[in-house]
Structure 1
Amino acid sequence: MLKTQTDWPEPIIRVQSLSEGCKDSIPERYIKPPIDRPFVQNSCYDGINNIPIIDLGGLNGDDLDVRGSILKKISEACREWGFFQIVNHGVSHDLMDKARETWREFFHLPMEVKQQYANSPKTYEGYGSRLGIEKGAILDWSDYYFLHYSPFSLKDYNKWPSSPPSCREVFDEYGRELVKLCGRLMKVLSINLGLEEEKLKNAFGDEIGACMRINFYPKCPRPELTLGLSSHSDPGGMTMLLPDDQVAGLQVRKFHHWITVNPAPYAFIVNIGDQIQVLSNATYKSVEHRVIVNSDKERVSLAFFYNPKSDIPIEPLKDLLTPERPALYPPMTFDEYRLFIRMRGPCGKSQVESMKSPI
């Protein structure tokens, strides 16, 4: 466990500063092993050019056929991909633009301003540049800002940036809208599992955890050697990603190949996290994904995490268990579970797979 550790194992170097000083090379600490590099042969699969794009416009309408079609598309995406994009989701385009550009502005503030919010590995909240505390680890080419939105006991405005001036106001509104949107999708996922519509949400406890990591991927002179974010599955419940509207970077693992996601205009990218994989007894699966970087353009993306209450045990729902398909996972709280990434950083799907009970 982290115990009383408050410092990183090595001095923190901001990747944005490295980017501004690097001309044609990057430090060895950021060079991935050949097998993990993004542009090795057969790393991308050209037979499929995108994850499913689903229009939610008729989800709450009176046309049962349209609603049934939307439910079916989401069900197939959760079972076959673990990822999908949603449009006509009810969040205003203006708010999406403001959220993204406000955070882009933050990352271009003077370094001494950003450093006031420097984080530690104990909570990760604030301005950071690495995940995991393994000394000598190969690092990712990215900086980030992590903060809590819910529960109220963790929501500390003092840890939110005061610059740009609109940052706190924008994120408050953005958080409210995404909590509502995630709640709508949780009902859909429950219905598609053959459960009562509140079943999954209730399994998350009476007070959901919501937090956000804003990812900043600076330009990189050698993008073929590194990653913006190493391969991982999300440890929480559901992730709502607002991608950069100027350059793609997210890659999803499918058929043992990496597929670069082409973001649809004003879409959110939704993915299943490990906690929903556990609750659904692996009917829905979290999927490995990673981020590549660009030599010409920086990227900003906003990952909103909708998670279970941190101190309640999460285990497969009894309604989904049969003698032929018993529980695949033992109970574990989200607090216990996420220590894995806080200690080791992104490591594929090794955590959720290691939890499986022997059958």
Structure 2
Amino acid sequence: MSCGKGWPEPIVRVQSLSDGGATSIPPRYVKPPSDRPSDSSSTSNVNIPIIDFSGLHGDSRIKTLAQISDACRDWGFFQAVNHGVSPQLMDQAQQVWREFFHQPMEIKQSYANSPSTYEGYGSRLGVQKGAILDWSDYYYLHCLPCCLLDQNKWPALPPSLREVVAEYSRQVVKFGGELMKVLSINLGLSENHLQNAFGGEDIGACLRVNFYPKCPQPDLTLGLSSHSDPGGITFLLPDQHVAGLQVRKNDSWITVKPSPHAFIVNIGDQIQVLSNAIYKSVEHRVIVNSNIERISLAFFYNPKSDLPIEPVKELVTSERPAMYMAMSFDEYRLFIRTRGPQGKSQVDSLKSRN
């Protein structure tokens, strides 16, 4: 336990609680009954769409574009296979981070983060005193723009981590740029429209590695509370051994069954705003497990932080007026950094009052 700089309360590493053999979870992790995972609210025989991105480069291009469009409009989520990121690199990225989280605590503590940037080793989101916390630890890194990249914040151990993460970031950013073109085309815009709205090549990108230790009472808590992602597009590399991500569809929570070497891709709030809610970010959460730990890598492809983000003018009509007020991503993400994950309340607060 440590009173980390800027946090309202002493920081407890969830992994330490789990490794210490706790048979029950502390009260600060117990969710209200309405927020707890429940078998009755989960649909087990449904999965989010799985899309083969190799179809974009052949005779199936039109069909593949339509599949992506439908997934973004109807689900806000899909799994991408044959996306161009090396499967071996994906495995390496998960392995180096698993090794990091199993290092001695004093090594990890040397990278402890603060709420001013969240970069580094952390165990909570939000700075509200007395908040009900999630059963997870994490590591957060800036990857782009280069002016924010501080390799002193990137763990030095295991020795291959920095090289692996740098190449992983490069390949995922490339995939992100290709997907942005697809989203623009499907909206009837020029292929570079959304990318230019994000700042062209001057985008933001960051990685959050989520570590979910074994939990003695998984029915009482969550690894990550329900939220929509505040950024642009999220590329999640899930744990291949155990499912944990749940996506809200209507009134049900659907547990995503990961496909081998697939990315789980979801629309973030900034794309919802730019598309004038043609594409929608969707609430999701993470459940935990009593028998096995989980690790996942969430890569966030975001707009340049100081650019105002508002509905694209070509998507605003008299029948569909602008639904959101302009706000920079810097201003926007202060919400989750202050209050933690709270459903879709932030993007809803941007709705135009005209």
Query: Could you state the TM-score of these two structures normalised by the residue count of structure 2?
Result: 0.97
Aligned equivalent of 2:195? 201
The residue matched to 1:227 in structure 2 has which SS?
Answer: coil
Query: Could you state the TM-score of these two structures normalised by the residue count of structure 1?
Result: 0.96
The residue matched to 1:10 in structure 2 has which SS?
Answer: coil
Identify unmatched segments of 5+ residues in structure 1. Answer: none
Quick check: 1:6–1:122 contact (8 Å CA) kept in 2? no
Aligned equivalent of 1:301? 296
Matching residue's letter, 2:13: R
Aligned equivalent of 2:281? 286
Aligned equivalent of 1:17? 16
Aligned equivalent of 1:313? 308
- Structure 1 position 55 matched with structure 2 position 49: no
Q: For 2:312 and 2:22, locate their aligned partners in 1 and report how far apart those are by CA, in whole Å.
A: 53
How far 1:27 sits from its partner (Å)? 0.2
Aligned equivalent of 2:28? 29
The residue matched to 2:43 in structure 1 has which SS?
Answer: coil
Matching residue's letter, 1:272: I
Aligned equivalent of 1:143? 137
Matching residue's letter, 1:343: T
Matching residue's letter, 1:50: N
- Structure 1 position 99 matched with structure 2 position 93: yes
Aligned equivalent of 1:265? 260
The residue matched to 1:188 in structure 2 has which SS?
Answer: helix
Q: For 2:317 and 2:227, locate their aligned partners in 1 and report how far apart those are by CA, in whole Å.
A: 30
Q: Which residue, 166, 169, 172 being the options, matches 1:178?
A: 172
Matching residue's letter, 1:131: L
How far 1:6 sits from its partner (Å)? 4.6
Q: For 1:105 and 1:300, locate their aligned partners in 2 and report how far apart those are by CA, in whole Å.
A: 11
Q: Percent identity?
A: 71
Q: For 1:332 and 1:37, locate their aligned partners in 2 and report how far apart those are by CA, in whole Å.
A: 33
Aligned equivalent of 1:78? 72
- Correspondence list, 1:317-356, <5 A: 317-356=312-351
User: Number of aligned pairs?
Assistant: 350
Q: Which residue, 42, 45, 49 being the options, matches 1:44?
A: 42
Q: For 1:335 and 1:304, locate their aligned partners in 2 and report how far apart those are by CA, in whole Å.
A: 18
Identify unmatched segments of 5+ residues in structure 2. Answer: none
Q: 1:141-190 deviations in whole A, cap 9, x for unaligned? A: 00000000000000010100000000000000000000000000000000
Aligned equivalent of 1:133? 127
How far 1:22 sits from its partner (Å)? 3.7
How far 1:45 sits from its partner (Å)? 2.1
Q: For 1:58 and 1:324, locate their aligned partners in 2 and report how far apart those are by CA, in whole Å.
A: 34
Matching residue's letter, 1:314: I
Q: Supply the RMSD in Å over aligned alpha carbons.
A: 1.0
Q: For 2:85 and 2:309, locate their aligned partners in 1 and report how far apart those are by CA, in whole Å.
A: 30
Q: For 2:86 and 2:141, locate their aligned partners in 1 and report how far apart those are by CA, in whole Å.
A: 22
- Structure 1 position 120 matched with structure 2 position 119: no
Q: For 2:235 and 2:31, locate their aligned partners in 1 and report how far apart those are by CA, in whole Å.
A: 27
Q: For 1:71 and 1:331, locate their aligned partners in 2 and report how far apart those are by CA, in whole Å.
A: 29
Q: For 2:22 and 2:125, locate their aligned partners in 1 and report how far apart those are by CA, in whole Å.
A: 25
